[in-house]
Amino acid sequence: MKTCIRILSVVVLALFARVPLHAAETIEIKQQWQAGKKYYQTIQTDQQSTIEIGGQKMDQSTNMTIELTMAVSPRQEGQPKRMTIRYERMAMEIGMNGQKMSYDSANPTANADPLNLGKTVGATVGQELKIVFNDKDEIETVENFDEFVKRFGDSAVPGFDASKMFSRESLTQMLKQGSLQGTPGKPVGVADSWQFNNQIDLPQMGKVGVSGSYTVKSIADHNGVRCAEIQTDGKLSMNLDAPKDESSPLASLGMKVTDGSIQGPVWFDPQLGIARESQLVQEMTISMKNPTDPSATINVPMKQNISVKLTKVEDLK
């Protein structure tokens, strides 16, 4: 009898050993804009570059802060769901060889503005993008594209045509991507990876491509919210030497990008359906013809630190 009990115990233990006590946690990575919500987002970009022309070296830095709100209206009978993206604040600081110039729409008269940033950067404040969703709850198009680019162009430098810099399709594609260039299409867990590959056609610049992989590093609390930490490991490619619009001032520069990379973490909230934060580093080298000597080439190494943070979510009033 005791022998039978021992054999039964061994069999039971063996069976339990073959079944994991805790199944690995999986989550869905899918962007969702919830109707009736208003999202507050801050984007900070820190760019460093070096230009050398005729033996003269110039270090340049550009720091920009953008504060946005995104209000998602509920779907009404016979009408698609809509979202309004509004530019609430724009701030920029430009440094060149020790000289600094800055502008902040929250305090527009605080600093001298020799570059007239108030007319270009500041004029964006208050502008809105009207986004329309399709039946699958995906961003379909920018409803007021023509009006938006006209206002943007009117505030820019003379001769600049924003409608030729962006197209409705390229702007829509950028909005679709959000903080992630691609999603896995199925539930994923820690250590799972998926690939992404996107290309955007910008009429006055050429083609901008990004490809690479995402890997889930952990699923844990991030600033008090349970998030998936997703590591970005990608490459940037820009074919800027053949823009479709030959009248573009960039057409004659023969611009190319080499050694382009993008890396860093994205913290995605699966319950909210949006990235709470991302901290990405982009590095590249831009080569172009020397405007004063077409036979010579200028190489401009550039590094960008890009931080995007969701600061608040509230019910739409």
Residue 197, domain CATH: 2.30.230
Identify whether 249 is part of a domain. yes
Identify whether 14 is part of a domain. no
- Looking up tokens 């070096």 gives 50
Q: DSSP letters along 100-150, please?
A: EEEEETTSTTSS--TT-HHHHTGGGTT-EEEEEE-TTS-EEEETTHHHHHH
Identify whether 13 is part of a domain. no
Identify whether 140 is part of a domain. yes
> Average pLDDT, stretch 113-117?
77
Pick the closest to residue 80 from 151, 134, 23 (CA basis): 134
Predicted confidence band at 113 (pLDDT cuts at 50, 70, 90)? confident
pLDDT for the residue numbered 248 = 56
Identify whether 209 is part of a domain. yes
> Average pLDDT, stretch 203-211?
77
Identify whether 197 is part of a domain. yes
Find out whether 212 and 194 touch, Cβ atoms under 8 Å. no
Predicted confidence band at 136 (pLDDT cuts at 50, 70, 90)? confident
Q: Both tokens of residue 26?
A: 């999986």
CA distances from 222 to 33, 189, 278, 298 (A): 20, 16, 12, 43
Question: What are the φ/ψ torsions at residue 252 (nearest 5 degrees)?
Answer: -85, -5
Identify whether 19 is part of a domain. no
Separation between Cα atoms, residue 84 and residue 38, nearest integer Å? 9
Number of domains in the chain: 1
Q: Give the domain range for residue 115.
A: 24-315
Identify whether 153 is part of a domain. yes
pLDDT for the residue numbered 247 = 55
pLDDT tens digits, 43-63: 999 999 988 766 778 888 999
Find out whether 252 and 289 touch, Cβ atoms under 8 Å. yes
Separation between Cα atoms, residue 131 and residue 136, nearest integer Å? 14
